[in-house]
Structure 1
Amino acid sequence: MNKKGIKISIIGAGFVGATTAYALMMEGLASEIVIVDINKDKAQGEAMDLAHGVSFVKPVDILSGEYKDTLDSDIVIISAGAGPKPGESRLDLIGKNTKIFKGIIPEVVKYSPNSILLVVSNPVDILTYITYKLSGFPKERVIGSGTVLDTSRFRYLLSEHFKIDVRNVHTYILGEHGDSEIAAWSLTNIAGISVDDYCRDVCKKCSGDFKRKIPEKVKNAAYEVLNRKGFTSYAVALAVRRIVEAIIRNEDSILTVSTLLKGQFGIEDVYMGVPTVIGETGVKSILEVKLNDEEYKNLQDSAKVLKENLNQIQL
């Protein structure tokens, strides 16, 4: 990391990019934040608005600029691109955002060849793979936000159901950040008690379709927010902040970021959300957690969905 302090650049000053800048600023994770957007006025306006509040947080320089101003960034967060419209899935965005990324990634790499790239734009797994290919970076330094947010949504909904602190709910959403994602019920526990035992012995209110309804709510959560306010911003920005924090503080935290699988879970050459140890060098290792047979098959099916879409892209 940068010896003079942490420099983070954000490509894309939309709802997600701007809210991410705010979350990073509030947490005091960077000494310099640079915001770049094709709409220079928007980027400048966001940077000014944030900068006007720096007296209330830890010292940080916040500015807007061009790609050259991202020089020597430690982390580059990419949130640029078209967002989903009501009725569109994340995978519907592939063509539009692939074209946009072909313009972004070479510029980012030119000015910050030693950075860690964190992709947030959707479809995040496919765009992270595209970023990996276009950048030429080692796979450890190209990460997607993956199912970090989905996992948080899952934990939240379970905590609401069980009326228990969300921090005592331990579980994962794995696979695509999208419609083929899977809930890892076999790994789910409440303070070390398996979810099945907790339902039977403590909750006693889990209906027969409990394990179907909650993952469906997780899967549709973004669409529900999108239909009501037109975009998502707060929770995804907090998820990105959490990933950045794990990198900067070299936490060796386990997060379900989108990372490149090379044979793990029987999956080859696909980026998707799996439990991953994250630290200052990016991806340190992938945890090949033990899934039951159905989950294992569903994870492989999720990878096939991503592969089929990747095969349609010309890089």
Structure 2
Amino acid sequence: MKVSVIGASGKVGGGISFLLANEPYVKELVLISRNKSLNKVKGLREDIYDALAGTRRDCDIFISDDETLKFLDGSDIVIITSGLPRKEGMSRLDLAKVNAKIVGKYAKKVAEICDTKLFIITNPVDVMTYKAYIDSKFERNKVFGLGTHLDSLRFKVEIAKFFGVHIDEVRTRIVGEHGDTMVPLISSTSIGGVPITRFKRFKDLPIKEIIDEVKKKGEKIISLKGGSEFGPAAAVLNVVRSIANNENRLLTLSTYLDGEFGFTDVCAGVPVKVNRDGVEIVTDILFSEKEFEAFKHSVETIKKYCIEVKDI
């Protein structure tokens, strides 16, 4: 596989690049940044090469600025992490408008160079995935965002802690917005194949507190260490690996809805099957009535932002 990372000089972009370079199926990796950050990316390449020597892996790593996008052609996946973080006093809509210009520009450029898959990490990720889909004009199975996949992993960790079980025994997911209106699917959550509601301790599970913790996890990590990189990078790797190995894993990613679940012209975190063709929405998962109402509210919230950035 050939994978390109736009925004490789940032924390998340660098973390993603390092993990991908260690994957046996990634034969070529393209690190892309703005001109003023090229030295950072050059340093990243040298650092990764040193690490590969220690892990007995090999990968050809190329560097390009974001204007020429040299070496991009032939990419199987292009990961876009570029964008500004939300600053104090900046509303979510302000952030969406600023980053939509950045993501939209790259989506158009990529589409001019090659036919590939676009994987969006930039926040607000649902709105940025929508912008990338609209501006690239790619088939919708080829444009997707990290969505609520990382949120689902964070939720999984908290449930495992509460019940005192191995993380891998927990199966759960969060849908909707990667943001304040995210919705946990308790009705689809299980531990060791047993529905979570069948456990005696379920009545003591502080779901609201746990979801609040999941929502604030990114901000908490930023306040403690200046940024979250390993969690997002590992979540991205889950997706790329599933595509590369044609695994048909069921993940919760942001993708364009065209009638699924009753919604159109919006991107939201929904269950999708992930394989070498990209993503395929899974619609035969039943939500509880309460979950669906919350999901509806979440999608409608996202759509308001999508409308605002569509023509930027």
Q: What are the residue-to-residue correspondences of 1:106-117 with 2, within 5 Å?
A: 106-112=108-114, 114-117=115-118
- Whole-angstrom distance in 2 between the partners of 1:149 and 1:109: 27
Distance change in 2, residues 1:62/1:253 (3 Å): same
1:62 is aligned to 61
Write the distance in 2 (CA, Å) between the matches of 1:65 and 1:59. Answer: 20
Distance 1:88 1:23 in 2: 32
Q: Is the 8 A contact 1:90 1:122 kept in 2?
A: no
> Aligned equivalents of 2:22 and 2:222: distance in 1?
25
> Under a length normalisation based on structure 1, what TM-score does the superposition of the two structures give?
0.92
Matched residue type, 1:178: G
User: In the TM superposition, what is the alpha-carbon distance from 1:292 to its structure 2 partner?
Assistant: 0.7
1:3 corresponds in structure 2 to none
CA contact (8 A) 2:175 2:183 kept: yes
Instruction: Specify the alignment match of 2:237 in structure 1.
Output: 241
- Map residues 86-235 of structure 1 onto 2, 5 A cutoff: 92-112=94-114, 114-198=115-199, 200=200, 203=201, 206-207=203-204, 210-235=206-231
- After superposition, the C-alpha distances for 1:113-171 in whole angstroms (9 at most, x for unaligned) are x2111001101110011000110100010011111100000000000111101111111
Return the offset for 1:311. 1.7
Does the C-alpha gap of structure 1 residues 265 and 26 become closer, same or farther in structure 2, counting only changes over 3 Å?
A: same
Q: 1:294 to 1:165 in 2, by over 3 A?
A: same
CA contact (8 A) 1:90 1:178 kept: no
Deviations 1:19-40 (A, max 9, x none): 0011112233300111000122
The partner residue of 1:81 within 74, 80, 83 is: 83
**SS where residue 296 of structure 1 aligns?**
helix
From 264, 288, 292, the counterpart of 1:292: 288
Q: Percent identity?
A: 32
Would the aligned equivalents of 2:261 and 2:283 in 1 still touch at CA under 8 Å?
no
Q: Is the 8 A contact 1:275 1:288 kept in 2?
A: no
Is the CA contact 1:254–1:277 (under 8 Å) kept in the aligned structure 2?
Answer: yes
Residue 310, structure 1, aligned to residue 306, structure 2: yes
Q: Does 1:21 align with 2:23?
A: no
Supply the distance in 1 between the matched residues of 2:284 and 2:302 (Cα, whole angstroms): 19
Give runs of aligned pairs for residues 31-50 of structure 1, distance below 5 A. Answer: 31-38=27-34, 39-50=37-48
Matched to 1:12, the amino acid is G
CA contact (8 A) 1:118 1:144 kept: yes
User: Which residue is equivalent to 1:53?
Assistant: 51
Distance 2:221 2:229 in 1: 10
For 1:145 and 1:288, the matched residues in 2 are separated by 21
1:254 to 246, 250, 262: 250
Which SS does the other structure have where 2:70 is aligned?
Answer: helix
Deviations 1:25-75 (A, max 9, x none): 223330011100012222222122212333224221112113022111010
The 1:15–1:174 alpha-carbon spacing in structure 2 relative to 1, beyond 3 Å, is same
Describe the SS at the equivalent of 2:308: coil
CA distance in 2, matches of 1:310, 1:191: 38
Supply the AA of the counterpart residue of 2:113.
Y
**Contact kept in structure 1, 2:172 and 2:186, CA below 8 Å:** yes
Q: How many residues align?
A: 304
Question: How well do the aligned residues superpose, as a CA RMSD in angstroms?
Answer: 1.7
Distance 2:252 2:307 in 1: 24
AA at the equivalent of 1:102: G
